[in-house]
Structure formats: C-alpha cells, structure tokens
Structure 1
C-alpha cells in the first residue's frame, strides 16, 4: 500500500476523534458554559449539520482544484475550526465553531477516497480506501478514550487543542507524502452533478442511510443499555466503547478486502450479519459477558459496510466521483440522525431501552432490500449490454 495512505489516515484519525470525543466530554463542556446536558448536545448536532452541508457545498466550490490542494484546504479548515472551538468564550460561539469544524469532514473524505483509489493497483481500490478509513476507526479505539481522559484531567479545551495539533500533523503529512494529483478530468460542477442522475447512485446512498442507520439506532443508546440493562458501571462504558472501536477497525479492514473480491455478495452478507447481531443483542444485552461480546460484533458488522459503499458509489459515479464520494459522508450523518431518532422514539413509546436494537435490525433488513434492488439492476444492465453486443 502506498505510504500516502498513512497521511490520509492521520487526517481521518483527527476527524474521527473530534466527531466522537464530544460525547465523552459533553458534561465537561456543559459545566464550563453553565448549561444543561441537552443544551450541550447542540455541539454534537452543529458538527453533524456542518458535515451534511459542507460535504456537497465545499466539494462543489473546490471542484476545479487539484485533489491534493483540496485535501490541504479541508484539513486547514478543520484545524482552524477545532482551535477556535477550544477557545470558545460561550455556547453560541462554540456551536458556530463546531459547525465550522464539521464543514470539511465530508469533502475531505470524498477527495481522500478518490485519491486513495487512484493510488492503488487495480483490484485493490476498496482495500486502499479502507486503509484511509482505518484512521477513523482507530480514533474510536485510541483517540476518543484518550481525548476523554485528557478532558477529565486537564479540561475539554485541551482535548480539542490536541485535535487541532493532529490537524497540523495531517497537513504536514499530506504535503510531504501525497503526490501531486493534477486537476480532475472533468472539472465542472455540471459533470459532478450528472452522476446524481444515475439511479444506482441514489440506491447506494439509500443503503448507507438506512443500513448504517441500524448501527446508530443501537450505538446512540449504548450507554444506558450497558449501565441500566447489562449492569456495568458508568466507568466501564468507555472501555466497552473501545471494544466496539476494535470491532469497527477489524470490520473496516475486512470490508475493504471483501469488497475487492466480491462487492455485492459481501455487502449482502454484511447487512444480514448486522441485522442478526442487533437482534441477538436484545437478548445478550441482559448479561455483562454477552453484552461485551455482542457490542464487539456490532462494530465488526457495521463497519464492514463503510468501505464497501464507498467503493460501490465511486464505481457507479463513473468519471465524476468527487461529489458523490463526499455525499456518502452526508448520508452517513443522515443515518446517524435516522437511527438516533427512531431509537429514541421507541424508548419514549415505552418499549424499553433494548427496543432500539430491534429498530436497528429492521433498518439493516431495509438496507439489504435496497441492496438487492441495486443488484437486480446490475444484472439487468449486464444482460442488456450482452444482448447489444450479440446483436452487433
């Protein structure tokens, strides 16, 4: 694998840390700004909104830039946003700076996935993309626990100051290790938007929104499941989340390799595995050992899907992959919102803390159904092309 992928992974590590560590230091920021926990939750929402808006907007604005320049610009904006958030004087400025930090998230991953794919040998492109995303999954294993610990010992501002430093390291690594990419072949927003006229692109985004929504239906409420149902102490939740992060890292690794061998069959298996594991979690969550083992496999099954879908959507975008690649990150955050909303809905409806797992299983089954439709279209297109070839 090219050493340039290491530079992309460092950037992904920083982005993954800032996205998820906010959950760990949320009580600290609430106390510092003298607000309640629900109000501090706006720091999470503001970042997610920045991702959803920034992914298509910044990719469109920078469509004529060489992709290395795009990566450097996005990581620069990320670094500034996190540094400013660490210096926020009040809640309003904090929300604005979290939004700013979220803006480059999707555009960075969109451009990074295209660059990673271009650096890989044929037949290893999904593997290359998964190596970049390895930084994102390792953030859940290393960055988030250490960032939370740093926040508890020194203060939450130190956590985001360190994230800004990681951003600077990523800028230096990208500048040094990523080769010059040149301008995109079709540097026009019209060409990029043209990819969205393809039904397969929308089906791929739908698989992400609903299939991965199953992961977030579970993970959004994992803390009360582990404490109130499985019987763990709050202090052990961070360790268990790291275990889930290990599962995510393994799943990401496997997903990239399986996607290069047999993308659609592997996708079907991953989504069905996710649905099965989430359904099983409704039973195993009632015991400590069962909960720990199952949460690991939720991470494995859920994050196998990521590199598969990134590879799938770039394949269906044809020669204009930047905007649709960035749109995957918007779809990822929409999946987060859908899963969290539906999971909260069933809890509020009195169905219990484990009910989000059933919601997650159903969302994963919906993802499989959409993937099956996409696979049918693949076979129909292949049959039409074969008939045309025979006719000529």
Structure 2
C-alpha cells in the first residue's frame, strides 16, 4: 500500500480523537464556561451535524482544487478552530468552532476517501478505505483515552491545544505524501459536472448502499454512546472499568477494519452475508448477558470487530456505487457514516429517556441492524441489475 495512505490515516486519527474526546471533557467544559451539562452536550450534536452537512458541501466547493490543497486547507482550518477553542471564554464561540471544525473534518475525510481510492488499483478500494478508517479506530483505542487523561490532569483547554499541535505533523505528512500530479487539473476539468455527480444520488444502488452504511453505523453509535451506564448499572462494575470497556470496543473496531480491508474487495458477499447476521446476534447477546461482566466484556470486543468490519465494507460499497461521481463519491460515503453517527445516539437517548432502561440503546442497535439485514437482499438485486445493464 502507498505510504501516503498511512499519512492520511494519521490526519484521520487526529480528527477522530477530536470528534470523540468530548465524552470525557463535557463536565469540566460545563463548569469552566458556566453552562449546564445538557448545554455543553450541544457541542457533540453540533459536530455531528457539521459532519453530515460538511461532507457534500466541502466536496462540492473544492471539487476543482487539487486534492493536496483541499486537504491542507481543511487541516489548517481544523487546527485554527482548536486554537480558538482552547482560549475562548465564551461558550457560543466554542460552539461555532465545533461546527466549523466539523465542516473541515468532513471535507478532509470526503476528499481523503476519494484520494485514497486513486492511489490504489480499482480492485483494492476496500483495502485503502480500511487503512484510512483505521485512523478513527486507533483514535477510539488510544487518542480518546489519552485526551481524557490529559484533560483531567491539565484541563480541557490543554487537550484542545494538543489536537491543534498534532495537526502540524499531519499537514506535513499530507504535503510529503500526497503529490499534485501534473494531469490532475486536466482530470478535474474532464470530470462530470456537479449536477451530473449529484444526479448519482438518484441511483437506487447508491441510495441503498448509503442507507445500509448509515443503519449499521447508527446501530454501532447507539450502543457505543451508552455503554457506560450498562457497565455500571447492569454489569455492576465500578466506573474505573468504563475506559477499559471502551478500549476493548476500540481494539475490536481496529481488528474489524483490518480484516474487512482484506476481504471487502474480493469477498464482500462473505463479509456481509456472514458478518451481518452475526452482528445482529451479537447485539441481542449483549442485551441478554449484560448482567454477566465476563460474557459482556467478550461481546464488547466481538461487536467492535463485527460492527466496524461490516460497516467499513458497506462504506466501500458506497464508493463502488458512486463510481460515476469521482469528486463527490467520498462525500457520499462520509455523509452515510455521519448520518448514522448522529442519528444512532439520538435514537438511543430517546429510548433511554423513555424509561426503557439502560439496555434500551442496545435494543435500538438490534432494530437498526435488523432493518439493514432486511434491506441487504434488495441492495444485492440492485447490484445485479446494474451489472446486467452494463453487459447489454
């Protein structure tokens, strides 16, 4: 694999750490800026909304730019937002920087996904996507706990400053690793018009691929967001076990994207046909054995592996389905990821607040995964129809 892919993954790691780190920083942010914890939670929602809107918006705005320029601009904006966030005494300004940094994050990931697939042969898109998304999974394993520890020891503003500093080597990696090819501008000029690329969203194959990716990612984040109360209230463990459980899930997610990266190009049907039902059974199993700490811990690792293995394969399917939108395809994949990341926790929170118990978000994950499995045969028929039309 080209070394540039790993440099892009470094930047995705930095941005992924920023996206998830607020889970451990919200109480101190709320106290420091004199807002309620619920108000501070808007920082998470703002980032998620910015990611969903930002992917297609940034990709459309910069579609004629060389990829390296777009990636660098996104990194500079992202770093600048964290510098401002680290020094501002106003919650409103911090909220605005979270929205803007999410736009930059979404733009970076959308362009990085499209760029990654151009660095490898046509039949290795899945492997390229898995390397890129490994940056996010490593962020959940190492970056987020490290950010939480740094914030606890030296204050939440220090964590924001550290994210800004980490953007420097990431930007250097992009400058060194992503080369602006001489023919790139010509390729951009010859690419389909924006209206044509947006028209690809009318394709049933692409819409189904995006829906499946959003559903599985929504299930993942519905469960992941509310693992802490399951650990303490249902499994009966102390709060000290929460970071370990989250790290186990993150370790499983890294394993999942690594395995899927080697199979999603050549054997996507195997990953989805076997992994999908196992994923559904695993969410059911987690809900049923949550009061047994050892069994619950094992399933946390397994579900991290399955959810990101199946999820990354589905995102690869989005890129294949969006082959007619070379400059916007990455944004469609990013939007699918983040629609799930935004909707899953909301659905989990609604179920949680309706008095359905701490296991309610796990049953939301069951429902979303079941819907995805029900749609999978329809997506398969759509791929078959497209292939038949191409043969004619």
- Report the counterpart of residue 157 of structure 1 in structure 2: 157
Cα deviation for residue 176 of structure 1 reads 0.9
1:380 Cα deviation from its structure 2 partner: 2.8
Aligned partner of 1:328 in structure 2 is 333
Q: What's the counterpart of residue 198 of structure 1? A: 203
User: Contact 1:284–1:294 at 8 Å: present in 2 too?
Assistant: no
Deviates more, 1:15-24 or 1:345-354: 345-354
**Deviations along 1:201-221, whole A, 9 cap, x unmatched?**
111111122122111221121
Deviates more, 1:87-96 or 1:375-384: 375-384
Q: Distance in 2 between matches of 1:384 and 1:178?
A: 36
Whether the aligned pair in 2 keeps the contact of 1:268 and 1:368 (CA below 8 Å) is: no
SS of aligned partner of 2:331 = helix
Q: Name the structure 1 match of 2:286.
A: 281
Alpha-carbon displacement from aligned partner over 1:30-55 (angstroms, at most 9, x marks no partner): 11112221111011111112111211
Segments of structure 1 that go 5 or more residues without pairing to the other structure are none
Supply the RMSD in Å over aligned alpha carbons.
1.6
Distance 1:85 1:213 in 2: 28
Per-residue Cα deviation, 1:152-183 (whole angstroms, up to 9, x for no partner): 00011111111111112111110011222423
| Partner residue in 1 for 2:106 | 106
User: Following the alignment from structure 2 to structure 1, what is the Cα–Cα distance between the partners of residues 119 and 242?
Assistant: 39
Question: Does 2:293 align with 1:317?
Answer: no
CA drift of 1:29 comes to: 0.8
> How far off its partner does 1:269 sit?
2.6
Gaps of 5+ in 2: none
**Contact persistence 2:21–2:144 (CA under 8 A):** yes
SS of 1:278's equivalent?
helix
**Counterparts of residues 343-382 of structure 1 (less than 5 Å):** 343-382=348-387
Give the whole-Å Cα distance in 1 for the aligned partners of 2:128 and 2:213. Answer: 20
User: How far apart, in 2, do the equivalents of 1:349 and 1:48 lie?
Assistant: 23
Shift of 1:74: 1.4
- Offset of residue 379 of structure 1: 1.9
How do 1:180-199 residues align onto structure 2 when only pairs under 5 Å count? 180-181=180-181, 182-183=184-185, 184=188, 185-186=190-191, 188-199=193-204
More displaced 10-residue stretch of structure 1: 208-217 or 7-16: 208-217
The change in CA–CA distance for 1:323 and 1:122 in structure 2 (over 3 A counts) is: closer
- How many residue pairs match? The answer is 387
* Cα distance per residue 1:127-174 (max 9 Å; x no partner): 112111111110011100011000000011111111111112111110
Contact residue 106 and residue 327 of structure 1 kept, 8 A: no
The residue number in structure 1 matching 2:228 is 223
